[in-house]
């Protein structure tokens, strides 16, 4: 290391450092402000998620109220037919069971769609 490099290093080491003229207070205030904003943002986000979940549940409830009677009827009918098939000879059991499945699949699809929508609101 040359003399000049040593001098330079010493000059850096001995160089004046600014006194705390309110800088640290300023930073503390900025940090506190950012934390407050973050808390408000998190609360707003939680509220939005709750509203989204409520909307999805309400939608599912409406859907269920519309199709539930049909589903229950078909389900009962399907079970009855399945029972007949099981107890009676020569019919296609799978075809019969599938008769009541359409509505069930619709409900499952609606729930899955609701979950996807909920996930999308989270992101």
Partner 1 sequence: MANRGLINLAQAGEAALIVAAQARDQAAFGELVKRRQGWARALLRRMCSNAAEADDLAQEAFIKAWDRLRDLETPAAFPGWFRRIAVTTFLMAKRRQKGVFDEIDEASPIASEESTPEAAAGAKIDLERALARLSDAERLCVTLNHGEGLSHAEIVEMTGLPLGTVKSHVLRGTEKLRRMLEAA
**Under the rule (CB under 8 A), what is the footprint of partner 1?**
3-12, 14-20, 23-28, 30-32, 34-35
- Select 25 or 68, whichever has its Cβ closest to partner 1: 25
Q: What is the Cα–Cα distance from 96 to 83, expressed in whole angstroms?
A: 10
Question: What minimum distance in Å lies between the beta carbon of 113 and partner 1?
Answer: 36
Question: What minimum distance in Å lies between the beta carbon of 63 and partner 1?
Answer: 43
Token pair for 74:
């078909």
118: Cβ contacts below 8 Å, ≥ 6 apart: 49, 52, 53, 56
- Select 36 or 83, whichever has its Cβ closest to partner 1: 36
Question: What minimum distance in Å lies between the beta carbon of 40 and partner 1?
Answer: 16
Question: What minimum distance in Å lies between the beta carbon of 29 and partner 1?
Answer: 9
- Select 35 or 70, whichever has its Cβ closest to partner 1: 35
Give buried/exposed letters for 66-103 (b at 16+ CB in 10 A, else e).
ebeeebeebeeebeebbeebeeeeeeeeeebeeebeeb
């Amino acid at each position: 290391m040359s003399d000049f490099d040593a001098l330079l290093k010493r000059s850096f080491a001995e160089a004046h450092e600014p006194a705390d003229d309110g800088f640290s207070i300023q930073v503390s205030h900025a940090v506190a402000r950012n934390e407050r904003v973050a808390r408000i943002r998190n609360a707003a986000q939680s509220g939005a998620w709750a509203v989204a979940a409520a909307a999805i549940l309400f939608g599912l409830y409406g859907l269920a109220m519309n199709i539930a009677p049909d589903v229950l009827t078909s389900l009962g009918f399907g079970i009855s037919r399945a029972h007949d098939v099981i107890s009676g000879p020569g019919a296609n059991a799978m075809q019969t069971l599938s008769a009541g499945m359409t509505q069930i699949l619709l409900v499952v699809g609606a729930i899955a769609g609701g979950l996807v929508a909920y996930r999308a609101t989270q992101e």
